């Protein structure tokens, strides 16, 4: 009895000492001639593919900038470096890691994680510690309604993803002499923050144009079959079908619409490129409309990468795959920092924050200019249509490189 008590006491003390021993002194934010940025990205878990895209996007810019001589501040050239942690696609973990980056590793500049959920968890942390947080993968509109001063997003918010589809449907109706407000819309969304925001945007624009929403379903979260919804769709015969459910939603839509012979003249979805629809299912996905933040065919140019197409080539050379827009927007986030450091001529976080807020920059990804809430209001979303296995930009008409094929013909 005596000895077991001792054992427990020593164990408790041992644990405490272990904790103390493992504590780190942390790195300073600027190590010698390197500026250290920090990021929690999803290297494992359900977002691991896009998390890798994000990391690769960050790394490409780091490499490029360092190649080009680094960032010049106060007459000295500094290299860039990013410290990464794996948030496991879990918001709780992301928030913890943000704190670790700030408190233990002394990082003063954060790059965003992948997904709205994770960004939502990390934003309050960076706001609390007044650390600039520039992100390219958290598109939830809600993020920008919280009054955050340190959060900046280079991408268009999620509610913009499929508004173009609604507007396009209205345009087409008008061109055929029909009243856009008579259009019927059927929608199915996955039950996560991003997809629900996409839904909000669609509903807003539909309401504005007076259209009727006849089906508003959620995608079954774990099973991978949307036949119940599609059965309804067939019964109701809408003019536009909108689906958003990440890569799973895109794949299911393409396949099951064909299988069930759901004949809707216009079908729009998100994440076609993540799902590799045009490559793996060219016949089934023919005619589908896809939302995108960016496309290599767009005519943007900048001094670090050249055109969007040049960026895509450089990325493919480095990482052996074509960059999806998730990678491009991550790269843009780092460019914002580079530009801000250069303009602020300082690494003081508040000066940098103010410089970021004043950004007015053209990048290969598109124009970046932040409004008061931190959203990038100068970059439009695009809509492609999959035509013969290619993603062709069809909307907004200003940037369209191809003509819309309407109505969509059911694949055999």
Partner 1 sequence: MKKTGRGDFSTMDSIQLLFQAPVLSVQLLLDGMLIGAIFALAAYGMALVWGVMNVINIAQGEFVMLGGYVAFFLYAAGIHPFFGIPLAAVVLFLFGWSLYKTIIFRVVDKDLFISILATFGLSILLQQLANELFGADVRTAESGFGTLMLFDGQVTVAEIKLVAFIAALVLGGLLLLFLKQSRLGQAIRATAQNARAARIMGIDTDRVYAATFGLNAAICGAAGALVSMTWIIHPYLGLPYTIRSFMIVIVAGLGNVAAVLAAGLGLGAAENFAGFIFGAEYQAAFVFGLLVVILMWRRFWLSRQRRYLK
Partner 2 sequence: MTATVKRLLLYTVIVAVALAAPSIAPDYRTQMAFLWVMIVFALTWDILGGQMGYNSFGNILFFGVGMYVCAVIQRDSSLGYYPALFLGMGAGALAAVIFAAIFGSGILGLRGHYFAICTLGLGIAAGEFASGWDYIGAGSGMVTPIFPGEPGGREKFFYYVMFALAIITFPVLRWLYSGRFGLALNAIRDDEDKAEAMGIHTTRYKTTAWCISAFFLGLTGAVVGNMIGFIDPRDVAFAGPTFGVWMVLMAILGGKGTLWGPVLGAVVFHITQEVFWTYLLGWQRVALGLLIVLIVVFFPLGILGWARERWPERFGHVVEEKLDARATE
- Long-range pairs for 72-75: beta carbons < 8 A, 24 or more residues apart: 72/342, 73/341, 73/342, 73/344, 73/345, 73/346, 73/347, 74/345, 74/346
Q: Which does 385 bind (CB under 5 to 8 A by kind): partner 2, partner 1, none?
A: none
Q: Name 231's Cβ contacts closer than 8 Å, sequence gap at least 6.
A: 260
Tell whether residue 351 is a contact of partner 1 (CB under 8 A): no
Considering the complex, state which of residue 226 and residue 291 has its C-beta at the smaller distance from partner 1. 226
DSSP string, 163-188: HHHHHHHHHHHHHTT--GGG-EEEEE
Q: Are strands 184-189 and 110-111 parallel, antiparallel or unpaired?
A: unpaired
CB 288 within 8 A of CB 277: yes
Closest CA to 23 of 124, 137, 82, 103: 103
Q: How far is the CB of 149 from partner 1 (least distance, A)?
A: 25
Considering the complex, state which of residue 65 and residue 188 has its C-beta at the smaller distance from partner 1. 188
CB 306 within 8 A of CB 363: no
Considering the complex, state which of residue 146 and residue 279 has its C-beta at the smaller distance from partner 2. 146
Q: Which does 99 bind (CB under 5 to 8 A by kind): partner 1, partner 2, none?
A: partner 2
CB 356 within 8 A of CB 340: yes
Q: Which residues bind partner 2 (CB under 8 A)?
A: 1-9, 11-13, 15-16, 18-20, 23-24, 26, 43-45, 85-86, 88, 90-92, 95-96, 99-100, 103-104, 117, 120-121, 124-125, 127-130, 140, 142, 146, 190-193, 195-197, 218, 221
Tell whether residue 279 is a contact of partner 1 (CB under 8 A): no
Choosing from 127, 171, 217, 354, the residue that interacts with partner 1 (CB under 8 A) is 217
CB 295 within 8 A of CB 384: yes
Strand partners, 212: 184
Choosing from 116, 196, 244, 326, the residue that interacts with partner 1 (CB under 8 A) is 196
Choosing from 55, 251, 270, 359, the residue that interacts with partner 1 (CB under 8 A) is 251
Closest CA to 167 of 278, 233, 242: 242
Q: Are strands 366-369 and 360-363 parallel, antiparallel or unpaired?
A: antiparallel
Considering the complex, state which of residue 207 and residue 372 has its C-beta at the smaller distance from partner 1. 207
Q: Which does 369 bind (CB under 5 to 8 A by kind): partner 1, partner 2, none?
A: none
Q: How far is the CB of 332 from partner 1 (least distance, A)?
A: 23
Q: How far is the CB of 276 from partner 1 (least distance, A)?
A: 8
Q: Which does 9 bind (CB under 5 to 8 A by kind): partner 2, partner 1, none?
A: partner 2
Considering the complex, state which of residue 40 and residue 166 has its C-beta at the smaller distance from partner 2. 40
Q: Name 17's Cβ contacts closer than 8 Å, sequence gap at least 6.
A: none
Residue keyed to tokens 């099973």: 223
Report helix, strand or coil for 118. Answer: helix
CB 252 within 8 A of CB 229: no
Task: Report the first-to-last Cα separation within the chain, whole angstroms.
Answer: 79
**What distance lies between CA 370 and its chain's CA centroid?**
16
Tell whether residue 369 is a contact of partner 1 (CB under 8 A): no
Tell whether residue 18 is a contact of partner 1 (CB under 8 A): no
DSSP single-letter state for residue 370: B
Tell whether residue 146 is a contact of partner 1 (CB under 8 A): no
Q: Which does 19 bind (CB under 5 to 8 A by kind): partner 1, partner 2, none?
A: partner 2
Which of these ranges, 33-41, 184-192, 289-297, 374-382, lies near partner 1 under the rule CB under 8 A? 184-192
Total of residues contacting partner 1 (CB under 8 A): 47
Q: How far is the CB of 157 from partner 1 (least distance, A)?
A: 15
CB 352 within 8 A of CB 109: yes
Tell whether residue 281 is a contact of partner 1 (CB under 8 A): yes
Q: Name 326's Cβ contacts closer than 8 Å, sequence gap at least 6.
A: 50, 53, 54, 57, 114, 136, 137, 274
Choosing from 81, 149, 218, 349, the residue that interacts with partner 1 (CB under 8 A) is 218
Tell whether residue 86 is a contact of partner 1 (CB under 8 A): no
Contact track, partner 1, 22-61, x by CB under 8 A:
----------------------xxxxxx------------
Residues that bind partner 1 (CB under 8 A): 44-49, 187-188, 191, 196, 200, 212-229, 231-232, 234-235, 247-248, 251-252, 255-256, 258-261, 274-275, 280-281
């Amino acid at each position: 009895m005596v000895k077991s008590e001792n054992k427990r006491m020593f164990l408790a003390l041992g644990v405490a000492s272990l904790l103390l021993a493992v504590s780190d002194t942390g790195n300073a934010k600027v190590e010698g001639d390197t500026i250290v940025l920090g990021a929690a990205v999803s290297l494992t878990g359900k977002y691991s593919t896009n998390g890798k895209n994000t990391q690769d996007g960050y790394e490409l810019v780091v490499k490029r900038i360092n190649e080009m001589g680094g960032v010049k501040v106060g007459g000295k050239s500094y290299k860039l470096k990013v410290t990464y942690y794996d948030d496991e696609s879990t918001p709780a973990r992301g928030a913890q890691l943000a704190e670790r980056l700030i408190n233990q590793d002394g990082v003063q500049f954060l790059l965003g994680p992948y997904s709205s959920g994770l960004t939502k968890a990390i934003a309050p942390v960076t706001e609390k510690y007044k650390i600039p947080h520039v992100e390219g993968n958290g598109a939830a509109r809600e993020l920008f309604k919280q009054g955050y001063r340190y959060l900046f997003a280079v991408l268009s918010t999620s509610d913009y993803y499929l508004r173009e589809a609604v507007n396009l449907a209205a345009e087409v109706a008008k061109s055929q002499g029909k009243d856009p407000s008579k259009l019927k819309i059927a929608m199915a969304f996955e039950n996560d923050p991003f997809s629900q925001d996409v839904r909000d945007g669609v509903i807003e624009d539909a309401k504005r144009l007076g259209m009727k929403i006849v089906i508003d379903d959620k995608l079954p979260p774990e099973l991978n079959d949307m036949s119940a919804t599609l059965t309804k769709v067939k019964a109701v015969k809408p003019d536009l079908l909108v689906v958003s459910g990440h890569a799973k939603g895109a794949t299911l839509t393409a396949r099951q619409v064909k299988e069930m012979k759901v004949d809707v003249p216009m079908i729009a979805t998100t994440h076609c490129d993540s799902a590799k629809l045009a490559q793996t299912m060219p016949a089934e996905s023919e005619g589908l409309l896809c939302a995108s933040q960016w496309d290599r065919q767009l005519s943007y140019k900048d001094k670090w990468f050249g055109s969007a197409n040049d960026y895509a080539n450089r990325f493919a050379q480095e990482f052996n795959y074509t960059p999806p827009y998730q990678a491009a927007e991550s790269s843009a986030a780092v460019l914002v920092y580079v530009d801000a450091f250069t303009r602020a001529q300082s690494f003081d976080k508040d000066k940098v924050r103010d410089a970021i807020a004043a950004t007015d920059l053209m990048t290969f990804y598109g124009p970046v200019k932040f409004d008061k809430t931190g959203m990038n209001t100068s970059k439009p979303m695009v809509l492609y249509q999959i035509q013969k296995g290619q993603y062709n930009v069809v909307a907004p008409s200003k940037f369209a490189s191809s003509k819309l094929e309407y109505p969509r013909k059911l694949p055999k």
